[in-house]
Copies of this chain bind each other. A is one copy, B any other.
Amino acid sequence: MKIRPLHDRILVQRIEEEERTKGGIIIPDTAKEKPIMGKVIAVGDGRVTDSGQKIPMVVKEGDRILFGKYAGTEVKIEGEEYLIMREDDVLAIIED
C-alpha cells in the first residue's frame, strides 16, 4: 500500500525526541509555536496555479524537515503514525 499526497501535500513521519537530541536539535518547552522534526515519506505532484501551471515541489522524499507544532493532519497507516501537511507548512530542510 502506498499513500500519494495530493497537489502540494506531503506525507511525514515524526522523528522522536531522542533522535532529535542526538541530531542536536532541541525544541524549547517555552516556545509558543514549537517546530517539530520529521522525515518526508512521500510528496505530491505540486499545486496547480490559476494559470494552469504546476509548481514543482521543493521538498523531496527522504528529506528531514522542521515544521510547526500544529501543522498537518494525523493518520495511522499499517500501525505507523504519519502526518499529511502542505509544503508551505514546512519551515526548513535539515541537511547533514
Contacts and interface: CB of A to CB of B under 8 A. Distances in A.
A7 to B, nearest CB: 7
Number of copies: 7
A78 B35 contact: no
Nearest to A25: B77
Interface in A23-37: 23-28, 31, 33-35
Interface string A44-67: 110011111101001100000010
A15 interface: no
Given A3-B92, A31-B73, 12 more contacts: A1-B23, A2-B95, A6-B87, A6-B93, A7-B58, A24-B77, A25-B77, A25-B78, A28-B74, A33-B74, A35-B75, A66-B84
